A and B are shown apart, each in its own frame.
Chain A
Amino acid sequence: TQLLEQSPQFLSIQEGENLTVYCNSSSVFSSLQWYRQEPGEGPVLLVTVVTGGEVKKLKRLTFQFGDARKDSSLHITAAQPGDTGLYLCANQPMTTDSWGKLQFGAGTQVVVTP
């Protein structure tokens, strides 16, 4: 089973600051998804990265996939209180019978205070 390690576990910042969270593995990712889970809700997909070196932007969020496809980062510029949530990375297992299964990291809890 591939282990996804997310860091840091917890991040508290002021509105307007920037932040970066990381997702790493000892094995190559087939593809990587980032989800955000707001309090009291289920996770919602933000982005999927597939190609090594890929960079995707979603408004103030920038997602990078490492060249070797073993790591990914999520950078938020000028964070707002609405960015508060648990950020989870998830990977599709590299097996032929995965049936759409995903493996999730433990998540980074981000708190943005006004």
Chain B
Amino acid sequence: DVKVTQSSRYLVKRTGEKVFLECVQDMDHENMFWYRQDPGLGLRLIYFSYDVKMKEKGDIPEGYSVSREKKERFSLILESASTNQTSMYLCASSPPQQGSYEQYFGPGTRLTVT
């Protein structure tokens, strides 16, 4: 059974803190993605990675960075958390471009920045 896990389901941080969100997949997928999900806005792509140590900006990368040192792990970093980064963060993975582009999602991390 395919599995994408995220390190925390709920997280509360203070403004200015450095925040790490971890994502691990056990499907040997090349592609990994980080989204944020806000009511009425759907899923917006922050960053994605198509290989180890490779990363590309998505639609809303400002205020975020990522790290992919191993194929199975993709980390999202908030260098200095701000209240407007309060959101649901979803990680996903997918195999190389073959056919359906199905993405497999983790359960999400609900981050609150106070």
Contact = CB atoms under 8 A, between A and B. Distances in A.
Interface of A: 1, 4, 9, 31, 33, 40-45, 48, 88, 90, 92, 98-107
A107 B42 contact: yes
Contact of B42 (A41, A44, A105): A105
Nearest to B98: A100
10 contacts: A41-B107, A42-B92, A45-B103, A48-B101, A92-B101, A100-B31, A100-B48, A104-B35, A104-B44, A106-B42
Nearest to B38: A106
A100 B108 contact: no
Contacts, number: 67
Contacts of B105: 41-44
B17 interface: no
Interface residues of B, number: 30
A43 B102 CA distance: 11
B4 A100 contact: no
A88 B42 contact: yes
Given A31-B100, A99-B97, A104-B44, 20 more contacts: A33-B101, A33-B102, A40-B107, A41-B107, A42-B90, A42-B106, A43-B43, A43-B103, A45-B100, A45-B103, A48-B100, A48-B102, A90-B103, A99-B48, A100-B31, A101-B33, A101-B45, A101-B48, A106-B41, A107-B42
